[in-house]
Every structure is written in structure tokens, then in C-alpha cells.
Structure 1
Amino acid sequence: MAELSAMTIGRRLGAGIAFALLAPVPVGLAAAQDAPQSAPQIAPRLTGAIIITQLQTAQHDLALRSADLPASNVATISQRLASMADRLGKSLGGDVAKPIDTLGNDAKADAYHAEAAVQRTRAFLEASRSCLGDDTAAMAGALAKTLELEAAASGASKLQPVINGVETLDRRPLFVLHDDGKPVAFALTGENLFDAQCASPVVTATDGQGKPQSVQPLVTGVLPNRIELKLPDGAQLQPGSYVLHVVPKRKAFLVGCTTQPETTAVVQVAPAAKVSVSYSLSETCPAPGGGMGQAMPPVTGSMPDGVGHGTVATYVKVSGCSDPLSYSISATVKFGDGHAATVGPISQIASAGITAGLPGGLSLSWDPSVHQLVVRPATSSCKGVY
């Protein structure tokens, strides 16, 4: 009897298992089971092979932008990137696939300098979009000098100091300083720039030939990956390369704080690009006795100085009629190199404003309620200048 009961329980158990196996799986659960695993959250360790690929990609991306950039600078930058990739490949040899932090000091230093060149080139390609021609040329000059110094850098350390970026305090890439007398503050970013057990790093500035600048930066804050600087108020900078030399110290067992290899960064000092905007504004008034309306003679003028370097505004007196039907506006932008471009005419009903994008990363707007024209840098304007 006990044997029969056990057999019955076994049959029921087997049937239950079979039913569970054959039962349909809820859609949500099936989707969860079939969903691919999440992407890795940790980037692979940096190797020489990765850096060489990055250098080649940067060279390719530069070529795609060549039509918008000064030809001489493009050729120089492209050649530097290719030379650094070739040099790094030869320096690493059979170790090209190894993490760079596991390599000897000299090979590691070469890799760090090449990676800094990649980061600075990427920042240039992104920040130079929508820049005026003069600003783009100055930015390209800063990058070319940066790559020259990275390629010529010497000295190696177990914890290699390297600067791979220059940025504003609100973390926008920086390549050009406009010598307009305004207070200037910016930051150098990188790795191994400061050891809290030692004195702050020494930061000095020279021109492109190594001659000390008359205006020297002041260090206002330091972290291992960031040095914040400011220039004396009202300082007049000399046009050309402003090369920043950083010499950190690092604490070593038994020997105290020792001087580390120098690392450099470059910004270009250049006059602000000259831009002027002229406008023509007309209104359409109701025609006597009705009809389509009558266009009044345009009011013409120029925007105040400062276009391209902040927001400028002007009041436009229009008095063709007290109750206009619409406004129409056109604007001409003239650049320092002599070329000009015109936008418009753009028309809109009198109760609505007009906004138009202008060449050079500018935006023009007309507010009919206060008869005011405003020109300001657009959100997509040049980001690499201070």
C-alpha cells in the first residue's frame, strides 16, 4: 500500500514538473531572459595600440574639416599626428598591446604625450565649429604649437605629469585669448600635476621661442588633475603663442619631494576678430482705402561696436504708421578679412518678433514691442576663445 502511494505521488510530481516546463513564459520574463547584457561600464585599459588608433582617427577627422581650416595649419597638424603615431609604434614595439601604465618610464611618457595630442586635437575639432576665420586660424596655431611641444617633450617619471587640456573655469575648451584687457582665468587639466605632500607646481609662461613673457600667470588652485590660473588684471598680452610650463614635485620615499619632468600647454594670444553688422528695417502700413498694404522706406543703420564678443542692442525709430501690418528686416555681416554676407529680408506680422541666424555664429532678433534690435552670439558660436 505504501509502495502504491509513493508511485502515485511520483506520477503527480512528474506531471507537475512537465506542466511547469511546458507552460508558456510571461512575455516580460521572456524578454528579460533574452535581453542582451548591459554594455561594460569600465573602459578598457589604455594601450599603445588604442592611442595609435586614436591618432589615426584624429588625423582622419581633421582631413574631413580641411575645407574650413587654414591649409598650412592642417598640413602641419596632420603631419605631427602621423609622426607621433609612427614614433609611438616604434617606441613600444612588441609592447604595443600592453596597458601603458605597465610599461617602462620612457615608453609610458611617449604614450602619455601622444594621448595628450589626441585629446587636444579632439577638443579643437569640436570647439572650432562656428568660429570666425581669424579665430579658427589662431586656434589652429595653438594646436600646431601644442603638438610640436608634445613631440619634442623629454624626461620621464613613474607617475608622468601631462597636460591634456586647457579650459575655461566653466570647463569649455580654450585655445585663444583675446587681448582686450578683461580679467582672464582658466585651468590646465591632466594627470599627476600635483602632490599634496609637496609644494604647489611652478607655472611659468614663455613665447613660442622660449623667451619669458612679461605677463606671468598666478596659480589660484591645484589638484592632481587640475591647475587653475589667472592673469593679472589689465595685463596686456603680446600676440602669438603663450606657452605654459608646469614643473610639479612628487614625494618619494627617503628622498623627499623631487622635481618631475616639465609638461606644457599652449594658448594663442590674438586680437578679437573684427565683425560689424548693418541692418535695413522696413514696415508695411495699411493702404489707404484697404488693400494689401504699403511698404514704407527702410530705416538703415549699424549695430554698436562689440558685435561677436557679447550682446549688443540698439533702438530703431520707425514711424511710418501707428498700426503697421508687418515688419521686414535684412542684415549684412562684414568680417575683418573683407568678406561679407547678407541675410534676409525676413518678414513677420507686426505683433510677432523676428529672430534670424547670422554668419559667424551670431543671432539677430527684433522686438517690435520696444523697437529694439539685438545681436548676440548664438548657442552654437565659437567655443574655443576667451
Structure 2
Amino acid sequence: MLKLGAAVLVGLLAPGWVTPLAAQLAPRLSGTAILEELGTAQHELSARAAGMPGSSLGATSERLATMSEALRKSLGKDVDKPIDIIDAKPKSNAYRAHAASQRVQAFLAASKGCLDTDATAMADALATTVAQLAEASDGAKLPPVVDAVETADHRPLFVLRNIPGKTSFALVGANLFDAQCEDPKVTATDAQGKPQAVQPKVTGVSPVRIELELPAGVKLDPGSYVLHVASRRKAFLLGCGAQPEAVAVVQVATPARLSISYVLTTTCRAGDGSEKVGSPIAGTMPDFSGGNTVSRQVDIGACTDPLRYTISAGVTFADGRTTTVGPISQIASAGITAGLPAGLTLSWDPSVRQLFVRSGANSCKGVY
């Protein structure tokens, strides 16, 4: 024990031997910092909108500008103060503005590599989110706010699809639960406030996270799925009182379907040792909707000694756009892999004579 104590004392007296702190604490969130976040979010969203004509991103960028101006007026002379020490109403406005900017950044990161149809659905979820946050006006000392929706494995979530199994996801934010009061209630409506036929079940709660589940096999109506969080907080001598509503939004959308055609040509060794190019074999892959794998067996005919395979492919999107890949050639003993739009790959496996289409690492990350 004495040796251990002496060693500790030496460590305290020898700062050069002590490992420095890994990181400094982040500064307290202020109105000025949130206004800067909104400005950055607006600028980056406007730039993304240029590449997505016809989407709601341009209107959302303009709403962020309006939200920023309203927040600046609400904060007044308290703009440079930490938001946790200012009055309830401007504090709540600041929390909601921060949530909007966080959601924008999540969209910008998650929508990379998405098909236009999926990216547009994600943009619609973002638009409704920002609209709901901008229209809220209630204040509270500790305002509940949702600044992220994510899957059970912590991926950002913007679009839900109807799937056979259970759907689990979570709302992440601040001041969502007071352990001295009953659990928060979460209800779902459309963008106009009409209750949804399918309601989420709360499966877990903490002050910063509410975990939800949708039953297996249910069919969600396409459009906005707006989640309203009603929580309570205990006040001294007053018991548990209702808090301002926190909101989050995901979009329910059908999968974006692709039609993929292919042409496979086999070069064979003829009986006299010469090379003979066979007739092209054309076909289509099963409809692909992302997130899964489809395959097609290809009959190469009477070729018993293939030397080389050549493949080309065409992709037709739901909106009628087309793109082509190839031709790509490879010796018969080696596979062929071709990159397709939206992080998809088309591959030929000569050992089983099958074509596969798969989602790659860069596929859309904001869709469940």
C-alpha cells in the first residue's frame, strides 16, 4: 500500500508523466452559435437544392432563413448568452432552431448516394420537420426537443417503408423524460394533424432518447408520419406538469424501383482451337427496390469451353431516365463486377453462371 501511495504521489508531482486530457469540453451552446449553425445549414441546403430541382429543399432553405431572423429577434440582447440561462420562450426557440440545423446536417450526410426518388422523400421529411419546428411557439424552462430520428443501430432515419417485420427506431434529443413523472406519450399524425391508423409503441425512455416500435406487417399510409411527444416534468410543490410538445417527422414512401437489363456475350473455344464469339444473350433482372439482392441464372447455351465473358447493362429509373454500363470483358475464370448508380453493383459469377444486383456501401443511408 505504501509503495502504491508513493507511486501516486510521484505521478501527481511529475506533470510531464501524466497523460493529458484527450479532449476539451465543448463550449456552452449560445444563441450566436445556433444562428451560425442555421446560416451554415441554409447555405449548404441551398447548394444541395441546386442539384435536386423540383424538390422541397429550396423552400426549406428559405424557411431556415426566416427561422434564423425570428430567433435573432427572440433572443434580443441575450444572443451571446448560453441558452440554458435565458428566459423560457427564447430558450425554447433556440432549442428548436438547433434541432432544425442538426436535422439538416443529418440529411446532407445521409442523402449522399441516394436515388432521386429516395432523396426527394427524405427532403420532404426534412421540410415537414423544419415547418413543425418553426411553427412551434410554446416555452419551457427545460424544453423537450427532438433533434434526431435514428434506427436501432444509430443510423439517421428520414424515410420508412412498409416491411414484413417489426420496425424499431428512436427519437433522440433533450429533456424528453423526467423519471419522477409518468412515461412520455408518443402519437402519430399526418402533416395536417389527422391521427395515423398505425400508432407507435414506446419501448424505452430516457431524458435523451425514446425508443419506438411499429408492429410487424402493418401498412403505413404514404406521406408524412409526424410524431408528437407529450411529456411531463415535476416542479417543486406543484407535481408533474405538462411540457411543450416535441415533434419529429419521417416520411412513409414506397421503394424506388429500378429496371436493369443486361447483355452477356460468351467467347468460346471451337473444336479446331479457334475462338468463336457467341450470340449476345439479352435479358432483364428482377425488379430491384434497394436494400436487397436479386439474381438471374443465365444459360450460355452449348459453349462447353468458355474463354471470356463480356457484359453490358442498362438501368431505367422510375422517372424514365436511363444509363448504361459497359461493355466489360474478363477471362472466363474470373468474375465481373460493374458499378451502377446509387451505390449498386452488377456482378457476374461464372462458377454458377448467375448475375447479381446488390446494394453497395454507398447506398442510401436515410431510408429504413
Settle same-fold status: TM greater than 0.5: yes
Change (3 A) 1:58 1:39: farther
2:113 corresponds in structure 1 to 130
Q: Distance in 2 between matches of 1:278 and 1:364?
A: 10
Moved more, 307-316 or 266-275: 307-316
1:313 aligns with 2:295: yes
**Alignment map for 1:314-329 (pairs within 5 Å):** 314-329=296-311
Note the residue ranges of structure 1 that are not aligned, 5 or more in a row: 1-32
Q: Distance in 2 between matches of 1:315 and 1:286?
A: 22
1:360 aligns with 2:342: yes
Q: Deviations over 1:289-312 (max 9, x none)?
A: 445x32211222222234423111
Letter in 2 for 1:66: A
* Identity rate, percent: 58
3-state secondary structure, aligned to 1:360: helix
Report the alpha carbon displacement of residue 181 of structure 1 after superposing the two structures with TM. Answer: 4.6
Q: Distance in 2 between matches of 1:212 and 1:51?
A: 33
Q: Distance in 2 between matches of 1:233 and 1:180?
A: 8
Of 201, 210, 220, the residue aligned with 1:237 is 220
Q: Distance in 1 between matches of 2:344 and 2:243?
A: 45
Q: Report the TM-score, using the length of structure 2 for normalisation.
A: 0.90
1:349 aligns with 2:331: yes
Q: Distance in 2 between matches of 1:67 and 1:277?
A: 28
Report the alpha carbon displacement of residue 40 of structure 1 after superposing the two structures with TM. Answer: 4.9
Q: Distance in 1 between matches of 2:330 and 2:49?
A: 38
Contact 1:307–1:375 (Cα < 8 Å) also in 2: no
1:375 aligns with 2:357: yes
Report the alpha carbon displacement of residue 361 of structure 1 after superposing the two structures with TM. Answer: 2.5
1:84 aligns with 2:67: yes
1:216 aligns with 2:196: no
Q: Report the TM-score, using the length of structure 1 for normalisation.
A: 0.86
Q: Distance in 2 between matches of 1:229 and 1:196?
A: 18
Change (3 A) 1:242 1:340: same
Q: Distance in 2 between matches of 1:102 and 1:82?
A: 25
Letter in 1 for 2:220: L
Of 67, 81, 86, the residue aligned with 2:50 is 67
Q: Distance in 2 between matches of 1:170 and 1:328?
A: 40
1:304 aligns with 2:249: no
**Alignment map for 1:182-331 (pairs within 5 Å):** 182-287=165-270, 289-290=272-273, 293-331=275-313
Moved more, 142-151 or 69-78: 69-78
Note the residue ranges of structure 2 that are not aligned, 5 or more in a row: 1-15
Contact 2:228–2:246 (Cα < 8 Å) also in 1: yes
Letter in 2 for 1:48: G
1:8 corresponds in structure 2 to none
Change (3 A) 1:39 1:63: farther
Q: Distance in 1 between matches of 2:93 and 2:53?
A: 28
Contact 1:285–1:320 (Cα < 8 Å) also in 2: no
**Alignment map for 1:116-155 (pairs within 5 Å):** 116-155=99-138
Letter in 2 for 1:255: L
Q: Deviations over 1:201-230 (max 9, x none)?
A: 010011110111111111111111111111
